[in-house]
Structure 1
Amino acid sequence: KMKWNKMLDGQVSVTSDDAPRRDSLVRGDLSPGRGAADSNGDIDVTAGSPPMRTISAKHIGDRPHLPHPGYQRQTSSNIKMKNLLERWDDPVNKMDKAVPPSIHDILQFRKALSYLDDEHPFSESFGPSETRDQCIKSSQKVFKKLLNFVPGEALLPFDVIGSIAMDEDGVYDRDVSLALVRLFRPNKDDCLTMLNFVQSCDWTYKRVRYLRASVANSTLIDRVLEHEFNILFYFFLVLWTFTILNFDPWSLLFSMSTVLVSFAFAFGPSAAKAIDGVLLIALQRPFDLGDRICITSGTGPEPDLSQNWFVEDVSLWKTTLRYAATNEVSTLNNAGISNCRIINFARSKSALVTLNLMFRSEATGQQISLFRAAVEKYVKDNPRVWSSMVAFFIVKIDPDAESTEYLLRIQHQKSWQEIPAVLINRGELLEFCITLMKKLDIAYDFAASLASLTKFDDTLEHARSAIH
């Protein structure tokens, strides 16, 4: 926040050659120099100055800057080898998340929550953001202020924003840089339009508001749990007190055993289900406010993900949902969904989009390679939408129809929470693939195949008639 204030107030100078570029950060290239592309499109890293050298006047000069200790050089041969290997993500280490919070962490969290209710949650230099309209208006003003660092430019270079990753001691913070890239997602030219900048700020605003609502809802649930535990605690405390005072409360309970057993048989199954619902919300927490979810039975065929709901309200006993297609509101008993399969779209990060493409059997290996290279370039040219190509392989060969079916799977930048945007981008990708296949003359012609099969059926019928 302090650094943003200085930048917007004109106290920090930014040079476009100093800040990290999006392509090197997304690719994981943290070498001290910038690379140049060879004839194959691979990046050959050369030695030089760090990606960022200055963010203020005291850092400008002839003083050499040593690279960050975490920098690792990455040559074009390493990148080629990585592309030939199968895609793999590091497993989650639970020990990283199992560290109990300290008192200092709890106090910091409470202090951070107090900023969520402030009129300027993104600092006073950003402007008022108490409502979404104010946030959009303030983000436009901030974008225009940042353009003052690059006079005459309509697009904002990511170098201007990336300079925040350098602290006042001139040390490059890799985590901050990657966080900025994930938030703003500059285009292939490492620039941001005003719409891109406002979209990123609006996405952050919505995350902040949902966080505030989720914390408030969790607080209410914890209070209800506390009240229930207090009832049990005081009940056993009273029994123990009577025992100490030589009163026998157990005889009274034994005399009521017949009534208690009757109630147990009558309400036992319902009470068990109710407890399952309480444990689902209190311990598992399968969803938060605003999450898009899909509820299906635990067994059976693949779920219909088009039947999805938004979580409107959550309590220990019931959950209020809003149907995404019609905005209809429904209330479910938590006991009824305790044994169901709950798919949380918000927690399904980086949606995978799958396309089944039909090629002609006459398509050569060179044409298929050109198609794959063009799709990979399309993905790299749209870094705000797509992350990477995950798979491209043959799934079916039909010699009778003279067709070959390929499966193309690409990773999206957004989660399935933004399913409308994902489906729109999927349609654009499919249109690009079909157009490319037609240009390369490798698209399978269903009409021609149907005509060929019709002609074959007529010939077969004529032969049968001749035999008879």
Structure 2
Amino acid sequence: MKKAILVSEVANLANEVKTYELRTSDFGLHTEIYNEEEEGDKPPSSRKLNGSQSQGVLTAMDIAALASEQKIRIAELLGEWEEPELAQSEEEAVDIGSIIQFRQSLSYLNTQFPFGVLFGPADTREKCVRSTETIYKQLKLATPSSDFVVFDTLALTALHQDGALDDHKLREMIKVFRPDRDGKINLLDFCKSVDAVYKELRLFRASVANSARVDRSFEKIINFAFYLILGCFSLAILGIDPLALFAAISGFILGFAPRFTQYFEGLLMILITKPYDIGDKIQVAPVTSDSSGTGSPYWLVKDVGLYHTTYMFWTQETATCPNGTLANTRIINASRSPQAIMITMFKFPIDTPYNKIEIFKATVEKFVKARPREWLSFLAFRLMTFFAELTVEYVFVAQHRENWANVGALKNSLADVSYFSLELTKRMGMRYVAPPLPINLNMMGNDASWSMLQRQMAPDVNNQSDRLSQAGMGSSLSMGNAPSGLAPAGNNDTQEYDFSDIEAMFDKNQ
């Protein structure tokens, strides 16, 4: 609901920009987009706009703060650590006022204008996208010189009447709309941000409706048990032994005992454990099986009942499974998983100089950090192992903003990094070429085929011999022998490369 309120406030701001012809420059406001991984622990500060010289800028408050590279290095040396979760205290009983307030909040989700009248109709996804485009065009009026909406315009919603900036609200706005490093938001990213809030509202409403239905079904079970016990007491009052009645049907009860046990396990899973809700993406597997580190094939939960669960695969295949069967399996909930950690491998020739590896790492890290809407942080880039094929393998680890439920966005982002890295290896002369395979001597009978094979294998064999000799002497290739297109500057230890044309290939704002 907080995100929905932020979207409605942005809609109000867009209406004021259009009505009163407001401009961001009139307020002298400038915000600097921070990295929440590096600066998320900073305490909020209260600032005011005092004239044209004062600016509400999110700058570093601690001058002695470590640089991001130092923080990452220290974290690697200290090792991984997860804070233990403390046991939560029992919640107090919910009063009538809270229940009424919750019902009123749900009533707003059922209207045609969940984000307010000024935002426009948003009861369907298509209407929400059209209303979002209208709001975006209105916000662009605040900065006529820019083709995009700048975050300074959205930051006006955090400006109080006394000129003070609400830092907490600014952070919430950044988390919802995710501007780039320059503070710009294009139309596609703006629509994605509002669409994410819209889907959260719809899934929340569907989950509440499903919970109400499950509660009604559970109420029927409680009523049945109550009337059964009441009937036993009534029979005892009338002089009829209820135990004799149960003894008569004991064979029937024992025959269905395994079925009742399985049903009871599924009932406890749905009512107490609640491993999934409607709209979650889950993967069901045996408890003893290993989990895939690259993401599992997930099923979308369509319906949850006391007896069974209905879910659908991405190919629109629908399946129904009893809850008792699911209770004895391992359920991976991708929607409840945190931001996904993506891993990929890079191979380089064994004679690649270490300073080239460092330049490659710094360039890939810059590429990742330039996309704050996709990647949360750059975690690691380290050597994994050596191979007999004269190659070294490095692992790339980064944390994405999306969870494993959005597999498409994860794969696309990782594909961009992989393709960008491939272009880097070509440009820097680091592309690995596999050694030639063993030769089939039966081909020597055909002189034409043997001559053609010799011509094809000669360059690779010569290159492989050079690599073997250099590896044996313990020397490395001189970086002065870089291929054309690289701009060497300085000696062999320090060299600058121009990757602007490669980075432009992945610029989505063009």
Provide TM-score, normalisation by structure 2: 0.75
The farther-off stretch of 429-438 and 296-305 is 296-305
Unmatched 5+ residue regions in structure 2? 444-510
Alignment match, 2:263: 274
After TM superposition, the structure 1 = structure 2 runs for residues 61-80 of structure 1, keeping only pairs within 5 Å, are 61=51, 72-75=61-64, 77=66, 79-80=68-69
Query: 2 CA distance for matches of 1:61 and 1:32?
Result: 25
CA RMSD of aligned residues (A): 3.3
* Alignment: residue pair count: 426
1:216 aligns with 2:209: yes
The farther-off stretch of 283-292 and 300-309 is 300-309
Query: 1 CA distance for matches of 2:187 and 2:55?
Result: 33
Alignment match, 2:144: 151
1:450 aligns with 2:436: yes
Task: Check conservation: 1:293, 1:342, Cα contact below 8 A.
Answer: yes
Query: 1 CA distance for matches of 2:104 and 2:285?
Result: 40
Query: 2 CA distance for matches of 1:96 and 1:151?
Result: 51
Task: Check conservation: 2:346, 2:393, Cα contact below 8 A.
Answer: yes
Deviations 1:299-334 (A, max 9, x none): 13435955321111111111111111x211111111
After TM superposition, the structure 1 = structure 2 runs for residues 226-375 of structure 1, keeping only pairs within 5 Å, are 226-240=219-233, 246-249=237-240, 251=241, 253-302=242-291, 305-324=295-314, 326-375=315-364
SS of the equivalent of 1:356 reads strand
Alignment match, 1:27: 38
Alignment match, 1:404: 392
Give percent identity, aligned residues only. 26
SS of the equivalent of 1:182 reads helix
> Structure 1 residues 118, 139: closer, same or farther in 2, change over 3 A?
same
1:428 aligns with 2:428: no
Deviations 1:404-428 (A, max 9, x none): 1111111111111110121122111
Task: Check conservation: 1:277, 1:337, Cα contact below 8 A.
Answer: yes
Amino acid at match of 1:179: E
> Structure 1 residues 291, 386: closer, same or farther in 2, change over 3 A?
same
SS of the equivalent of 1:354 reads strand
Query: 2 CA distance for matches of 1:106 and 1:80?
Result: 49
SS of the equivalent of 1:331 reads strand
Alignment match, 1:86: 75
The farther-off stretch of 315-324 and 181-190 is 181-190
SS of the equivalent of 1:280 reads helix
Correspondence for 1:414 among 359, 383, 402? 402
SS of the equivalent of 1:22 reads coil
Amino acid at match of 1:20: T
Correspondence for 1:108 among 101, 123, 135? 101
> Structure 1 residues 431, 98: closer, same or farther in 2, change over 3 A?
farther
Query: 2 CA distance for matches of 1:248 and 1:211?
Result: 53
Shift of 1:262: 0.9
Alignment match, 1:379: 368
The farther-off stretch of 187-196 and 20-29 is 20-29
> Structure 1 residues 28, 17: closer, same or farther in 2, change over 3 A?
farther
Amino acid at match of 2:348: F
Shift of 1:94: 4.4
Query: 1 CA distance for matches of 2:350 and 2:90?
Result: 54
Query: 2 CA distance for matches of 1:332 and 1:91?
Result: 36
Unmatched 5+ residue regions in structure 1? 34-49, 55-59, 459-468
After TM superposition, the structure 1 = structure 2 runs for residues 67-216 of structure 1, keeping only pairs within 5 Å, are 72-75=61-64, 77=66, 79-86=68-75, 91=83, 93-94=85-86, 99-100=91-92, 102-103=94-95, 104-168=97-161, 170-216=163-209
Task: Check conservation: 1:32, 1:51, Cα contact below 8 A.
Answer: no
Query: 2 CA distance for matches of 1:154 and 1:108?
Result: 42
Query: 2 CA distance for matches of 1:338 and 1:247?
Result: 42
Task: Check conservation: 1:19, 1:53, Cα contact below 8 A.
Answer: no
Amino acid at match of 2:34: D
> Structure 1 residues 19, 271: closer, same or farther in 2, change over 3 A?
farther
Shift of 1:391: 1.9
Alignment match, 2:377: 388
> Structure 1 residues 301, 80: closer, same or farther in 2, change over 3 A?
closer
> Structure 1 residues 95, 356: closer, same or farther in 2, change over 3 A?
same
Task: Check conservation: 1:19, 1:160, Cα contact below 8 A.
Answer: no
Shift of 1:234: 3.0
Alignment match, 2:13: 7
